[in-house]
Amino acid sequence: MNTVTFAFSGKGGVGKTSLSAAFIRLLCERFPNKRILAVDADPAVGLSTALSMEPPMTLDDVRLQIAQSIEKGETADAVALLGEAKFHLLDCVLERGNLSFLAIGRPEAAGCYCKVNAYLKQVLEMISGNFDFVVIDGEAGIEQINRRVMEQVDCLVLVSDSSKKGIQVIRTIEQVASRLVACRTAGVIFNRTRPGFDADALHDIPPVLSVIGDDALQAQCDMDGDSVFCLPEDSALLKGASRALETLLQRVHNETV
Amino acid sequence: MKLFDDVIAQMFALLPKTPDLFSEYKESLCAPEGDKNAILFRSDMAFELGGSGKTSVSSVLFGDFPDGKDAVSVYGKDLCELSADTPFAHLTFVQLKDSREENLRYEQLKNIGFCLFQLYPQGYHIRISPSAGKEQVRVAKTALAADAPLSFLNIGCSLIHLLKTQPEVAAVQTVYVTANDVDYAALSALARRAKQITEAVKHTLEVNSLDCASCKMKPICDEVEGLRELHFKMEKERKPYES
């Protein structure tokens, strides 16, 4: 299967999760016969609320279970570890229609779990191939890029508001990602922009995919705790996300053909 | 090999007297191989063996069979007769070519056990937790809707085929249990005991200490005939430079 992976990154509080959720909704609706995997890679675990999907366990729960069993001296062989990870992985994947949801979770235990993390990463890579589209809502900043959690991404979506800080963060992410991520295409979505913001005046940033102003409908949706699937179709967020998605799909398609 | 004999006997005592199916291994009956990374999604699944919190048991045990034949047994309903998640046990009995305890190697037992992780039949998504001794299986709707629906016999033959690629394996008997009137909790306890025996074999072959009173394996050695003898025999034969 030719999986297309979208990864969202940017400064905290710029709307990465809302945009990831919007992409997921759009993909689910436009491709009802395709399988979509939503990955909440942000320790803040907001995508779960945005999609109204709460998985029974997170990947970090699995990691902890395995780490504890290693500490008890139960399973330390590579094959057994991988088997253990694969066993629990299916319990982490929550399915609803053509959408599956997986949360990385919030690491709360101290200590080095590199070995376990390596197996979990391997397991993640294995399952991605079962999906047509994978959407990763990443952690704010460059940590996950640095740690190569997002090593292979088709479309890197950088999200910023109109602040200098937000724009500086996406420039930094883009620079780091250009060295560390095997990325086919990248673009910027400006979200929650202030009146008078001129994206065309900015240089040294990847191509702008969409500019979205304040969205009262989305703010109301957030306040009510409703999922992105309840958002009216004419909301600025959905319309802006739709433009960005179209552009990225077209680019990936052109590259493939 | 006698180490697992007691556990094997107790396991069979928990099963009905005669299996609902007993068939010798035939290579032609092996299930078609699937993709090792494929996920069987809930929406494509007919049911899950050991799913919905029902008990599941997985165990690999080593012993000698009188007839030395490769065979598959089923106690309870076969796949095409099941329609909902059910308790499940999968027991695999392996006879080694050289089953003398003094020639036993832990790596041998471990590698044979790991064969279970390399089985990917199409439409039969196996997941095994070594730490919990569980094996849960998602069975695809398509696998059961085929003209010749997938059966435990097909799966068992695939497993035997795989295990026979291990040079040390002489014979394999694999048992699938879905019967309602089986004490799965007791089977699960026996599977844990079998795992402890395998761990004790590792300890026996690797640890030099002769002080049983301070050894964490003492309880299992007290109960399993032959383990302590094996340990002391190995220790006696160990050359000074090996310690």
B16-39 pLDDT, tens digit per residue, is 999 999 999 999 999 999 998 899
Residue type, B179: A
pLDDT at position B243: 41
User: Which residue of B35, B37, B39 is the best one to mutate when testing the A interface, meaning the one whose CB has the most A CBs within 10 A?
Assistant: B39
Q: What is the mean pLDDT of chain A?
A: 85
**Using an 8 Å Cβ cutoff, are A180 and A146 in contact?**
yes
CA B24 to chain centre: 17
Cα(B92)–Cα(B62) distance, integer angstroms = 8
Regarding predicted confidence, which is higher, A142 or A250? A250
- Residue A149 is predicted with a pLDDT of 55
Q: Flag whether residue A57 sits within 8 Å of chain B, measured between CB atoms.
A: no
Low pLDDT (below 50) residues in chain B: 240-243
| Residue-level pLDDT at A77 | 74
For the question of an ipTM over 0.90, the answer is no
* Residue B189 CA: distances (Å) to CA of A111, A229, B59, B177: 33, 47, 11, 15
The DSSP element (H or E) to which A38 belongs, if any, is strand A36-40
Tokens of A170: 């996406």
Residues 6+ apart with CB under 8 A from B130: A74, A75, A80, A83, A84, B113
Of A79, A97, A126, the CB nearest to B37: A126
Tell which A residues from 75 to 134 touch B, by Cβ distance under 8 Å. 75, 77, 79-80, 82-84, 86-88, 90, 93, 95, 97, 100, 126-127, 129-130
Name every chain A residue with its beta carbon within 8 A of the beta carbon of B127: 83, 86-87, 90
pTM: 0.83
Q: What is the mean pLDDT of residues A233-255?
A: 94
Please state which CATH number belongs to domain A4-256.
3.40.50.300
Residues in chain A within 8 Å Cβ distance of B42: 95
Of residues B119, B116, B124, the one with CA closest to residue B92: B116
Q: Which of B36, B41, B45 to mutate to test the interface with A (most CBs of A within 10 A)?
A: B41
- Inter-residue contact A39 to A102 (CB < 8 Å): yes
Instruction: Give the angle B57-B61-B64 at the CA atoms, nearest 5°.
Output: 145
For residue B37, give the DSSP letter: T
Confidence of residue A204 (pLDDT cuts 50, 70, 90): confident
**B110 reaches A (C-beta below 8 A):** yes
Distance from CA of B160 to the nearest CA of A (A): 19
How many Å apart are CA A188 and CA A16, to the nearest integer?
Answer: 11
Residue A21 has pLDDT above 70, yes or no: yes
**Domain coordinates of chain A in residue numbers?**
4-256
Who contacts B242 (Cβ-Cβ below 8 Å, separation ≥6)? none
Q: Degrees (nearest 5) of the Cα angle B72, B164, B227?
A: 85
Altogether, the residues listed in chain B come to a count of: 243
Q: What is the pLDDT of residue A17?
A: 94
Cβ of A84 and B37 within 8 Å? no
Question: In the block, which residue shows the tokens 């090792």?
Answer: B36
- B127 and chain A: CB distance < 8 Å anywhere? yes
When pLDDT is cut at 50, 70 and 90, the band that residue A253 belongs to is confident
Contact A87 B114 (CB under 8 A): no
Which tens digit of pLDDT belongs to each residue from A66-115? 777 777 665 567 778 888 888 888 889 999 999 999 988 776 555 555 55
pLDDT at residue A111, rounded to an integer: 56
| β partners of residue B66 | none
- The gap between the terminal CA atoms of chain A, to the nearest Å, is 16
A156 close to A16: Cβ distance less than 8 angstroms = no
A100 vs B contacts (CB less than 8 Å): 41
A134 pLDDT more than 90: yes
Residue B28 corresponds to which tokens in the numbers above?
A: 């032609």
- Residue from B43, B129, B137 whose CB has the most chain A CBs within 10 Å, to mutate: B129
- Of chain B, the end-to-end C-alpha distance in Å amounts to 26
Contacts of A75 in chain B (CB under 8 A): 130-131
Q: Can you tell me whether residue B32 is helix, strand or coil? A: coil
Cβ within 8 Å, pair A82-B117 = yes
Q: Are A29 and A18 in contact (CB under 8 A)?
A: no
Q: Among A75, A100, A127, select the one facing B131 at the smallest CB separation.
A: A75
> Is there a contact between B130 and A80 if contact means CB atoms under 8 Å apart?
yes
| pLDDT score, position B242 | 47
Contact residues for A31 (Cβ-Cβ < 8 A; gap 6+): A98, A132, A133
Burial class of residue B208 in the structure, from the number of CB atoms within 10 Å of its CB (0-12 exposed, 13-18 middle, 19+ buried): exposed
Say if B12 is an interface residue toward chain A (CB within 8 Å): no
Pairwise CB contact (< 8 Å): A74 & B41: no
Distance from CA of A129 to the nearest CA of B (A): 8
Alpha-carbon gap, residue A50 to A48, rounded angstroms: 6
Given an 8 Å threshold on Cβ–Cβ distance, is B127 in contact with A90?
yes
Q: Sort out which chain B residues have CB atoms less than 8 A from A57's CB and list them.
A: none
**C-alpha span between B126 and B48 (Å, rounded):** 10
The size of the A-B interface in CB pairs under 8 A is: 47
Tell me the residue length of chain A: 257
pLDDT value of position A108: 59
Q: Which of A216, A227, A252, A191 is nearest to A24 (CA)?
A: A227
Q: Distance (Å, rounded) from C-alpha A219 to C-alpha B166?
A: 62
The token pair that represents A11 in the structure block: 């400064």
Higher pLDDT pick, A196 / A244: A244
User: What residues pair up with B8 in beta bridges, in sequence order?
Assistant: none
Q: How far does the CA of residue A207 sit from the closest CA of chain B (Å)? A: 35
pLDDT over 90 (residue A50) = yes
CATH of domain B5-183: 3.30.1650.10
Integer-rounded Cα radius of gyration of chain B: 19
What's the pLDDT at A177? 76
Q: Establish if B117 touches chain A: CB-CB under 8 angstroms.
A: yes
Report the C-alpha gap between B25 and B29 in whole angstroms. Answer: 8
Asked whether A37 and A31 are in contact (CB, 8 A), the reply is no
Q: Cβ–Cβ contacts within 10 Å for residue B124, how many? A: 23
Q: Report the phi/psi class of residue B56: left, alpha or beta, with left for phi > 0 and alpha for psi in -120 to 50.
A: beta
* Nearest chain B Cα distance for residue A160, angstroms: 35
| Residue ranges of domains in chain B | 5-183
Q: Which residues of B touch A82 (CB under 8 A)?
A: 117
Tell me the DSSP string of A51-102: HT---SS-HHHHHHHHHHHHHTTS--SHHHHHHHHHHHHHHH-EEETTEEEE
Q: Which of B127, B207, B216, B217 has the highest number of chain A CBs within 10 A, making it the mutation to test binding with A? A: B127
Check: CB of residue B85 under 8 Å from CB of residue B51: yes
CB contact under 8 A, A87 and B42: no
Catalogue the long-range contacts made by A180-183 (C-beta closer than 8 Å, 24 or more residues apart).
Answer: A180/A145, A180/A146, A180/A148, A180/A151, A181/A145, A181/A148, A181/A150, A181/A151, A181/A152, A181/A153, A181/A156, A182/A151, A182/A152, A182/A153, A183/A153, A183/A154, A183/A155, A183/A156
CA B201 to chain centre: 17
